[in-house]
A and B are shown apart, each in its own frame.
Chain A
Amino acid sequence: MKQSVSLTVNDRPVEATVESRLSLADFLRLELRLTATHLGCEHGVCGACTVLINGEPARSCIALTVSLGGDEITTLEGLADDPAMQVIKQAFHDKHGLQCGFCTPGMLISTRDLLKRTPRPSEGAVRDGLSGNLCRCTGYQGIVRAVLKAAEDLAAS
């Protein structure tokens, strides 16, 4: 049961004919080979698959590709030149905010959104704000420190 859909991915128009059951995550990963978006649960809980749909974070594992006609999708790859994202990545590196790296792309995208909405969050606000992104490795300490540092660096720049 295939259907065609046109959407924008990382600023590029994309036309595709896909199965109606194909998730956005699988579309990005399998059809467009954008593999920064990871799958940790495929039922909406872990946040590893977080991307931006029309600028807002969303779980790509529970978004259906065919339902996104006309929408703008942005993945970590599409934020390579985003100045805020560069600062955030640097902070994750500096504060050891990742270990195996599997949660990292989703974590970075959620962080960018959090700091956009709350530029100078408290530690508690960071912890609540990232509670929808699971990390099994870091115990979150490096992540929280990275986000606080990124907030500081973004405010300074």
Chain B
Amino acid sequence: MKPAPFSYYRATSIDDAITALSGADGMAAVLAGGQSLVPMLNLRLSPVDHLIDLRSIAALSRQEETPEAICYGALTTHAAFEDGAVPDGTNGLMRYAASHIAYRAVRNRGTLGGALALADPAADWLTTAVALDASVTLTGPDGQRCLAITDFVVGPYYTQIAEDEIIDSVVVPRRSAAERWGYYKVAPKVGEYAKSLAVALIDPAKASARLVIGAWSDVPLVLKAGASALLEGVKQHDLAVIVQNELDLKMPSLSPAERRLHTSSVVRAAEQARS
């Protein structure tokens, strides 16, 4: 299980990386933590001719704070979130999410940008980013553009990143201090990818609530009816019925067992958020 040959280039700056990407003939890919890409290379599942390593680009490891949001360089690792080594504007939600991704050795190297670029529908960061209304800043030969996460992700493993673009950073709006969150991950084993993943956010004072279900066969879905019911304080059982109806409408392909699973995780996340 060894990779096919490829060339390796260690980019020294974002521009350098973009130039290398644009100039490459054949398939080029950027390397961040390598925790998803290198397994695929080892398995010869993704043909790559040129690998452009982003890891020495200091700018991609930066964090910037504004009153409204925190901007995380794409190379910010899961472990940095887990350890509270980077600023947090989500009342600890990102820290919690990060600590439930994979295993420590993977979290030490895996990055936020890499996870979102991969757009695995079962990934923790994807559903979390949708719940948090994050946006993704892409840099290419023509400069930067910033996309809302829901525009950025087109489908499973499919994003708006152009061939000569990289994720520069991820901008996460600060949540209100009074907001509570719930995070419910159903995984077959500790550290595995989710089979169902729900995130709930509620701030009664601001009359805001958000419910997101992820880790099904498609990209995460925002559940509006469920969120309103959550805000109204609908009791658990009735909330379950509302969520189930909403899932039936938006995810008609689910089997009864899958529908039960996702309904439960949404309701659990919601209950956690308001407990």
Which A residues form the contact surface with B (CB < 8 A)? 1, 3, 19-21, 23, 26, 42-44, 47, 50, 53, 56-59, 61-64, 66-67, 69, 110, 113-114, 127-129, 131-133
Given A44-B106, A47-B105: A21 in contact with B6 (beta carbons within 8 A): yes
Tally of chain B residues near chain A (CB < 8 A): 31
Give A62 to B35 CA distance when docked, in angstroms.
7
Indicate if the CB atoms of A47 and B103 lie closer than 8 Å. yes
B8 and A1 contacting across the interface, CB-CB below 8 Å: yes
Q: How far is the CB of B161 from chain A (nearest CB, A)?
A: 21
Complex contact A62–B5 (CB within 8 A): no
B residues with CB within 8 A of A: 1-8, 10, 31, 34-35, 38-39, 41-43, 51, 53, 55, 79, 102-106, 108-109, 189-191
Chain B min CB distance to A76 (Å): 14
Q: Which of B7, B10, B39, B104 contacts A62 (CB 8 A)?
A: B39
How many residue pairs link A and B with beta carbons under 8 A? The number is 92
Report the nearest B residue to A113, measured CB to CB.
B104
Contact B190 A131 (CB under 8 A): yes
- Give the docked Cα–Cα distance between A23 and B6 (Å): 13
Q: How far is the CA of A42 from the CA of B102 in the complex (A)?
A: 16
Docked Cα-Cα span, A79 to B41, in Å, equals 30
Q: Given contact pairs A23-B42, A42-B42, enumerate 19 new A-B contacts (beta carbons under 8 Å).
A: A1-B5, A1-B7, A21-B3, A21-B41, A42-B39, A43-B39, A47-B105, A50-B105, A53-B109, A59-B106, A61-B42, A64-B38, A64-B51, A67-B31, A129-B104, A131-B103, A131-B190, A132-B104, A132-B191
